[in-house]
Structures are given as structure tokens and as C-alpha cells.
Structure 1
Amino acid sequence: MVDAPGRLLVVDDNKVNRLLLSRSVEMLGHTVTLAENGRIALDRLAEGGFDLVLLDIEMPEIDGFEVLAAIKSDPELRDLPVIVTSSVEGLDNIVRCIELGAEDYLPKPVNKVLLKARLTSCLEKKRLRDEQRTLLGRFATQEVARDLRETGFSIGGRRIEASVLFCDIRDFTALSEDQRPEDTIELLNSYYALMFDAISSHGGIVNLMIGDGLMALFGAPKPLENAALSAVVAAREMLDMMAAFNADQQMRAAPQIRIGIGIASGEVVAGYAGTQERASYTCIGMTVNRAARLESHTKTVGCSMLVDEGTYLAVAEPSAGTRLAGVAFKGFSEPLDIYRLA
């Protein structure tokens, strides 16, 4: 038996070959699902959950080459290891299989010792790739992780229209001085859990956390139909969540959290910044600076949320805001009209 059994898909149009190969695999401790041709194999793969494919080449309807091509073109399947088991001879065919993404090629009849070695090696690679994907999902958002899988990694950015949201806890320094560090961390974790949920639920990604503050991006890397509206709806949900959280905190005589939110919409340069060794998905530009200034200005105005004119005009209910005309911000040559949203 193996230490880490896998779930394998055995694809072969010959019933005898299919059953004998599946028996050999099951004797090694793995679970097997069978498919008698390429079309059925692709249907099985669409259901998900497989760790490896043992694939024949000469099959009716859809042959092994076409199955390999389909797997390689699917972002969700391209990391799935495939071992070709075929009686098709010729170096050209073997090379074609490898070029289409096969991990290995085993000629029929399959040698059981060689099969065991290949399965162990491929499943270990699959396990490591799964761990990398899990880590990527833990330290990057689903959207960024998907962008990396689909387009690859490269330092640089592109100009896009997006909305940027900044959020900060009010008087956090004083709040943290009155309690144990462990309690402060627990409070921050609760705050981030609520904020992340509200932001991601409306298509945004949190791309920066600094202490008690965060920066979120709407419209990149995944485009949104109305990024500004999505950001505003997310912000309102964030405020609602904080109100519910504070009501619970009050009942337990625990510290409450007040937040300020600033949202700006317009052109940003979004992409991967850093080095080949260490980088993050972020955005820069005057829109980012404007959102940061708006968040900070909520303290001066004494409100929970401020947005710029671009965001205000994109919101379906512009009448729900109060205009603050000609506000001067550091780093901006001209005063800005901003809006306090209900």
C-alpha cells in the first residue's frame, strides 16, 4: 500500500486493457475511475477530484492526443499529471505526447514495477503542486491566483479603469494600548475577516494590509461591470458589519471598532511590483492617492465614508450624497469636489 493514495482516471477503449490496468493500480492502493474513450474521460475530468490520468492514445470519438490538448488548455486541469499508456510506436508520437503536456510515456504491455515508480513520482509532484496552490491561495486572493495561473507572472503593469478603497480603524493606537497584545491581534483578525468578506463578496480584492488599515481594488485583475458601484456597495456592507460587530462587543463589554472609508475611481496602473524573487499585485496612480486622502479626510469631516466625483457619478443613486466642494488635499494642485455618502 502507498502512504498517500491517489484517485486515478484510467482511459482505454480496450476493455481487457482497461480492467487489467485498473487492477494493477488498485493493488498499489489507489482508487480508480474508468473511461472507455476520450469524450467520457473529459466528462469525468470536468467533475474534478482526480490526481492523475493514465491515458491511451488510439481511441474512437476523441483520441488521446485531443484529450491531452484539452487538458493543457484548461487552467483548472493543466497541472493534472498524465501518463500515456499506449502501443503506438515511434519517437514522433512520444515527443508529441510530451509536447502536449504528458508527464511520461509507458509502452504496452505496462511493466508493473515501472508503473509503480512512475505513479509514485507523478503523485508526489502533484502533491507539491497542490501545496503550492494552497499557499498561493492563502497569501493571494482567488482573482490574483487565477491571474497567475492563466497569464503567468511578470513584473510590470497596465493602465486600467478601476476603483480603489482605503479603510482604517479610528484611534487604533489608543485602543491597542488598553488591552493585551493577544487581544489586539484577535480583534484585528475579527475585523479583517469581516472586511475581507464584504470586499470579496462584491468582486474586490484586498491587495495591501498595513497594521489596522487596508487597501482594496475593484476592477482588477478581474474586470467589473461597474467597479465604482461595487466598491460603494462593499463599503456600505463593511459599515453594516461593523455596526453588528460593535453591538455584540458592547453586550460583552469589549472594545468597539470605528472605521473610515475612502473610495476613488479612475485610471490606475495595476500589475505585479517587486522583483523576480518577491512581488505582489498592486496598483499605483493618482486615483490611489486620492482614495488614501479621502479615507484620511473622514476624520476631519467626522463621517464614515467619502468618495470622489468619479465614484459619485457612477453610483446608481447619486442623490444619496452630500457634496463637499473645493477641498484641498496634499499632493494635488487643484481642490477637489468630494462627496459624503449616506
Structure 2
Amino acid sequence: MTGRARVLIVDDDATNRDLLVRMLERHGLATAVAEDGDQALRMVAGQRFDLVLLDIIMPGMSGHEVLGRLKGDDALRHLPVIVISSLDDLESTTACIELGAEDYLLRPFNSTILRARIDASLERKRLYDEEAAVRRRLEAFNEELEVRVQEATAELHRRLRELTGMIDVARSIISVLELDSLLAGIMRLSKEVMNAEASSLLLADPETRSLRFHVATGAAGKAIEGHTVRFGQGIAGYVAETGESVLIADAYEDPRFDPGFDRLSGFRTRSILTVPLRTTEGIVGVVQVMNKIGRESFDVHDLELFESFASMAGISLHNARLFERLRRMADDLRVALEKERWLSIEKEKMRAYIPRNVVDEISRNREQKLALGGKIVDATVLFADIQGFTRLSERLPPQQIVGFLNEYMTAMTCLIEAEGGIIDKFMGDGIMAIFLPRDAGDNHALRAVRAGLRMQDGLKTLKEGWHERRPEIAELTARIGVNTGEMVAGNVGSETRMDYTVIGDNVNLASRIESNGRGGEVHVSGAVHRLVAGHVAAHPLGSISVKNRIQPVQVYSVSGLSEAGRQ
């Protein structure tokens, strides 16, 4: 609804009409009046109104009939109607409401109530108009979208037809060895793909500087096969002489066009595409298509596509070389695909021996030689070791030891990786894991401590199963030590054999904390404790002396996670 709302007052009493007109215009509304039902219906049919105030008792057509006509018209049924009548009759009131009136007010009416009813009705009308406008826009959008989808679908079908034609041409070049059959097949396909009425291929004779119609398709093709054209004669001769591709929308308007062949064949050329046929020897002929089916002329896209066909036709003249090239390409592709498949398999195998991030780095830089060296990182290291494993290995057969270790290492690895840790190496019954920072705010020390606690819980779960199956190992415990700080991460070793690992004083300290630890517990350094203090329950164990460090190192035993540490 734009501008002032328009209200139509329908009443045979001039006094009533004037009263309502003054009141509504003071209220900021535009008004129009009708003295009877017939006039009202004519006015709403030709003008826009936002509300009708309708009297019931009028000469000629009654208000009930007017209301019924309005609500029975699909174009007007949403126009709100308020009935204002002196007829205080329940039956009349009910009839009006059932016919679709917004309200029924008795005269004399309260002007405040009437204005409220009018405002409410106009608001509903405004909302309806807005909804209708949105609906119309959606319908228009859907119609436009449908047109675009149809156009896009038609374009896709066109491109698919072109692609299919290109594939068929490639197959023809591979499968047909006889030159005439090969070129005839290419021109037939070009006619189909270009959606043209006719096509032709002219081969050049450098000695006579002429072109000969070698292949001609279409209704009049047979009539011109074998005929010759001099270089420079007509459009085909022009292309052979200059090497330029030509797109002509109206052949008879181009002075280069020779209508002699139209007279010879009875064919009427409208639009024409002509492109040179090239090989390594130069221009060896000309190919052309005539009259785009369903369109007035060809376009630039058609020209580009046809030039591709011409390139294939040129290649076909040297089919033996093409066969060899295609075979080499196919062989190379098979080798490349097989190599890629093999690399994918090997990559998965490598992940069982090498940290995942190292495998990914090797994969990303497979063309580069791996280099020794590293960089300083702030990270956390976890060492885990089975207490009493040496004595156990002396008592059990090697196969049982390997089976037990595999079960244990698999379970521990899953728990470490679940916290984002990287298995650096397995050392007999020992595990070394690295927790690198994920981002600037990552508490990698907390992730390492959580992993250690989960490993102790996981070992308890394993031992419950071992009580029945392997009682000799059911009482084993593990020591776990964790330290954090700066260390060097990178490739360490030789040019022919290297490991990705972390080294440094902080790594050594983590190993020393583990070796001095107690079975079944997670021991951490003071540096780790400072980073996880609000997230774990821990108590100090005292200090240990570490080689190459002047001050003893404070060690803590972590017994569990606080609520914050579990998040």
C-alpha cells in the first residue's frame, strides 16, 4: 500500500456519507463515495480501494448483495468490508459476517471504535498486499528461473552434444585407418555437432594452388564432390590463402562468397564457418559448415568448436603418428594412475611407522628431497614405560611378548591420538609421544596430561581382561612422565636414514621424570603443573636431580581431572 489509504463509502444517505467523509479525511484517509450498490461495484472494478464502508439498507441492490458480489470475485474478495447499518438484527449481522465482512457496526456508532476497526482492517489489507506483492515477485522469479533453467539445460545439452561429438571424432581417428572413411566420418560428426545443414572438406594441392572438394555432406553434397577451387577464389580459397578462420552471418552480403556452387547444387547458403586445416606441414586444406539449424547464423563459440574439429582433421592426416602418441599417452596415464595408487597404499603403510604429520609432509613435497634439520617449537612430550617388563620378558616366550605388546601399544596409541598426540616412536615396551600446539591458545600440556590419565585408566581396563586370559601380566603397571617447553623438532639422522623427532633438554627431562616415577601414576614437571594447575588434581612429590641441570626439578603426581580439565 503506497500513499494514503483509499476508503469507499457506500450509502444512499448523503448526510451519512458526508459525516464519514469528514471523519475519515481528518484521520488522514482518502475517500470516495457511492450512492448505491451498482455504482460501488463499478467503482471497485475500475479503481483501487483499501477498504469499503457499506450500508445494508439501500434502494436497488442491498448491502448484502454488494457484499456477496465483492466476496465472490477472486480479484476483490480480499478487499476488507466494514458494514455500518442502523439495522439491529442478529440475522443480518450473522449473514454479513458469514459473507466475509470484517465487522458490523450499528448506527449511531462510536467514532473511536470505528477508527480502530478501520485501522485494523487497513493493517490487514496492507499485510495482504505486501504478501501478494512478495508472492508475485516470487512467481516472476520462478518464471525467470524456469526460463534460465531451460536455457541452461539447452546449453548443457548443446555442450554435451559437442563433447560427445568430440569423443566420437577421437574414437574415429583411433579406429579408422583408411583416410577417406576417416575424413568422411569427421565431417559427418562435425555437421551433427555444429547442428549444421551441410559440411565440406577441401584438400589443397600446393602444386596447382587449388582446393578439391574431398568430402561434402548434406542434401547437395554429392553435386560438388570432386570440384576444385583456386586459392583466393571464394571464401574457401580466401581461407586457404590467408590461413584465417572466417565466420560469416550472411554469405550473400560478403563479397568473397562465390554463389556458383549454390547454383550448381541447388543449395542456398545463409551462414558459413570456414577454417583452415593444418598439420605440421602447414595448411593442407579447408573445412566448412553451412547454415546453423534453428538459428540465423553461427556464433563465436561455434567457430571455436569448429576450429577444434579442424585440428582433429589435420591430425588424422598423420594418423600413424597419432596412434603412437595416443598409445604413449595412455601408457603414461596408466603408469601415473598405478603409481598414484601405489603411493596411496604406501602412504597408508607408512603411517603405521612414521608420524602422520611427517607422512603428510612427505606427500605434499614428494618431488623434493627430505632435508636434515629442525626448528625450535614449544611442545609437550610424554614418555610411558611398563614397570617390570624386563623380568616379564625373561619368563614368557617371544611370541606372547609380541602379542601382549601389540595389544597394549594399540590401546595406548588410540588414547594418545584421541588427545591430538603424535606417536614419535616405540622403544621396546616404551612409548614416546609429542603434543604440538594446534593454535596460539592451545594448552598442549593439558592434552598430554589427559592422555596420560586415560592411558592409566585404559591399562586398568586391559588388566581386567588379562586376569582371565593372561594372569601372568595382569599385575603390570606403567610409569608415565610428562614435560613441556622448548625443544627442537625435525629430521634427525643421516641423508639415507632419518627420523622425525624432538630432541633437547626438555625431552630428556620428560624421560627422566618417567624413569623416576611410580607405576600406575602420571608424573609431571613443575612447568607442566603451572599450565594445568586449574584443570587437574595433583600433589607434589619433591624434587629430582637431573643431569646438566643445576637446580633440582620439582615433580608432581596427577591423580585426576577437575571439571575444567574435562571440558
TM-score range, shorter chain: 0.5 to 0.7
Deviations 1:205-249 (A, max 9, x none): 1112211111111107x6681110110111111111100000010
- 2:412 aligned to which of 191, 195, 200: 195
Q: Give me the whole-angstrom Cα distance separating, in 2, the residues matched to 1:167 and 1:331.
A: 22
Task: Give the match for residue 531 of structure 2.
Answer: 314
Q: Give me the whole-angstrom Cα distance separating, in 2, the residues matched to 1:208 and 1:18.
A: 55
| Inter-CA distance 16–132: structure 2 relative to 1 (3 Å threshold) | same
| Inter-CA distance 227–119: structure 2 relative to 1 (3 Å threshold) | same
Task: Give the match for residue 99 of structure 2.
Answer: none
**For 1:10-21, what aligned pairs fall within 5 Å after superposition?**
14-16=162-164, 19-20=167-168
Structure 1: unaligned runs, 5 residues or longer = 1-11, 28-88, 91-106
1:129 matched to 2:129? The reply is no
1:141 matched to 2:289? The reply is no
CA contact (8 A) 1:312 1:318 kept: no
Give 1:269 deviation, angstroms: 0.5
SS at match of 1:139: coil
Percent identity over the alignment is 29
Q: Give me the whole-angstrom Cα distance separating, in 2, the residues matched to 1:287 and 1:188.
A: 27
CA contact (8 A) 2:522 2:558 kept: yes
Task: Give the match for residue 456 of structure 2.
Answer: 239
Q: Give me the whole-angstrom Cα distance separating, in 2, the residues matched to 1:245 and 1:22.
A: 63
Give 1:175 deviation, angstroms: 1.2
Q: Give me the whole-angstrom Cα distance separating, in 2, the residues matched to 1:119 and 1:323.
A: 64
CA contact (8 A) 1:326 1:337 kept: yes
Task: Give the match for residue 162 of structure 1.
Answer: 379
| Inter-CA distance 123–241: structure 2 relative to 1 (3 Å threshold) | same
Q: Give me the whole-angstrom Cα distance separating, in 2, the residues matched to 1:279 and 1:18.
A: 51
- 2:550 aligned to which of 324, 333, 340: 333
Q: Give me the whole-angstrom Cα distance separating, in 1, the residues matched to 2:342 and 2:361.
A: 20
| Inter-CA distance 115–270: structure 2 relative to 1 (3 Å threshold) | closer
Give 1:291 deviation, angstroms: 0.3
Structure 1 letter corresponding to 2:527: G
Give 1:147 deviation, angstroms: 2.5
- Give the structure with higher Rg (CA): 2
Q: TM-score, normalised by structure 1?
A: 0.65
Give 1:337 deviation, angstroms: 1.3
Aligned residues: 249
Give 1:317 deviation, angstroms: 3.1
**For 1:109-124, what aligned pairs fall within 5 Å after superposition?**
111=323, 113-124=327-338
Q: Give me the whole-angstrom Cα distance separating, in 1, the residues matched to 2:167 and 2:528.
A: 62
Task: Give the match for residue 290 of structure 1.
Answer: 509
Q: Give me the whole-angstrom Cα distance separating, in 1, the residues matched to 2:170 and 2:350.
A: 34
| Inter-CA distance 287–18: structure 2 relative to 1 (3 Å threshold) | farther
Structure 2: unaligned runs, 5 residues or longer = 1-158, 176-278, 281-310, 316-321, 560-567
Deviations 1:10-51 (A, max 9, x none): xx9742256549989xx9xxxxxxxxxxxxxxxxxxxxxxxx
| Inter-CA distance 289–253: structure 2 relative to 1 (3 Å threshold) | closer
CA contact (8 A) 1:229 1:316 kept: no
Q: Give me the whole-angstrom Cα distance separating, in 2, the residues matched to 1:145 and 1:303.
A: 33
CA contact (8 A) 1:303 1:340 kept: no
Q: Give me the whole-angstrom Cα distance separating, in 1, the residues matched to 2:467 and 2:500.
A: 37
SS at match of 1:162: strand
Give 1:319 deviation, angstroms: 5.7
- 1:206 aligned to which of 389, 411, 423: 423
| Inter-CA distance 118–226: structure 2 relative to 1 (3 Å threshold) | same
Give 1:325 deviation, angstroms: 3.4
CA contact (8 A) 1:327 1:337 kept: yes
SS at match of 1:157: strand
- Which structure's relative contact order is higher, taking Cα pairs within 8 Å and 6+ residues apart? 1
CA contact (8 A) 1:263 1:291 kept: yes
Q: TM-score, normalised by structure 2?
A: 0.40
Give 1:190 deviation, angstroms: 0.7
Q: Give me the whole-angstrom Cα distance separating, in 2, the residues matched to 1:155 and 1:21.
A: 53
Over the aligned positions, Cα root-mean-square deviation in angstroms equals 2.9
| Inter-CA distance 316–292: structure 2 relative to 1 (3 Å threshold) | same
Q: Give me the whole-angstrom Cα distance separating, in 2, the residues matched to 1:22 and 1:229.
A: 62
Deviations 1:131-164 (A, max 9, x none): 4323322321222211333366221010110000
Structure 2 letter corresponding to 1:332: R
Q: Give me the whole-angstrom Cα distance separating, in 2, the residues matched to 1:156 and 1:270.
A: 8
Structure 1 letter corresponding to 2:491: Y
